[in-house]
Structure 1
Amino acid sequence: MVDVLTEITINRSCDQVSQYAANPDHAPEWYANIQSAEWQTPKPLKIGSKIAFKAAFLGKELSYVYEIVEYEPSKKLVMRTAHGPFPMETSYTWESAGGQATHMTLRNKGNPSGFSLIFAPFMSLMMKRANNMDLKKIKALLEKQS
């Protein structure tokens, strides 16, 4: 089992942070490993929405489809892959951190199988490092906006 939790405080309101982070069109801007996000269902984002992502991780190109399974605007977003080499659940939460600041969490949980199982501890470390970099990037992007 892989379970990686990362968090950051961003000096922007919950609405601003969640609207940006929950929009799949922005994912390639702040996720270093995501190359593209393509809607497979009509916008806007809601439970049941499906988005196809292309990413690079550990030198491999990955394609997977996330389905939105829980969505509370400005509070929580949970999405899961239905298929792919590494079934994964990704969740974001947003909470007020006082004033115009937001505490954001990013959590990835998954159950590697087969060959991936051997690399699960290594993958957790790599994912934690990548997620920390991604959260620093979204913080920088949102805080420089006026």
Structure 2
Amino acid sequence: MSRIEEAIDISRRPDEVFSYLTDPKHIAEWEESAEAVRTLSEGPLGVGSRFQVQRRIGRLKVPMTMEVTEFDPPRSWHFHGVDGPVRSDLQGTIEPLDDGERSRMTLSLDLEPHGIGKVLVPLVVKPLVRKEIPRDEAHLKELLEAGTA
């Protein structure tokens, strides 16, 4: 499958954007399809940590377990889905702008179908995700710039 990539500029420092974005407890605050998140690992988030996101895909509720495979604050992270019919592979980067006073955040997502996901991903999931990511990024920008995050 081809990756979906979107970028947005945010008027917050890279460390602030990274900290909020990579904290699983905030995912449901800014991602439209995320309904709940449960941490599966002890301690601070880092390579090897796991968390589960309960997602709504159309009328389906799908739990997705994610594992952190890269974690380089405040520059980049990589979360990889390890179970379920649709496994997300999410890479993110944050570039400093204006001497570090602003940030450019880029999300790159691929969806790996397994089982019934081979039918769902191209017909249902990928079209929904292509529309959702720009809305999610806009919501994230709004939350961070308003100081509510």
Give 1:144's aligned amino acid.
A
Gaps of at least 5 residues in structure 2 are: none
**Secondary structure of residue in 2 paired with 1:128:** helix
1:2-39: CA deviation from partner (whole Å, max 9, x where unpaired)? 42111100000101100000100110110111111111
1:46 corresponds to: 46
- Kept after mapping to 2: 8 A contact 1:14/1:96: yes
1:124 corresponds to: 126
Distance apart, 1:117 and its partner CA: 3.2
1:140 has 2:138 as partner: no
Gaps of at least 5 residues in structure 1 are: none
Distance apart, 1:108 and its partner CA: 1.1
1:98 corresponds to: 98
C-alpha distance in 2, partners of 1:64/1:144? 30
2:60 corresponds to: 60
- Kept after mapping to 1: 8 A contact 2:37/2:52: yes
The TM-score normalised by the length of structure 1 is 0.92
C-alpha distance in 2, partners of 1:28/1:35? 6
User: How many residues in Structure 1 have an aligned counterpart in Structure 2?
Assistant: 146
Give 2:34's aligned amino acid.
I
The TM-score normalised by the length of structure 2 is 0.90
1:34 corresponds to: 34
Give 1:50's aligned amino acid.
R
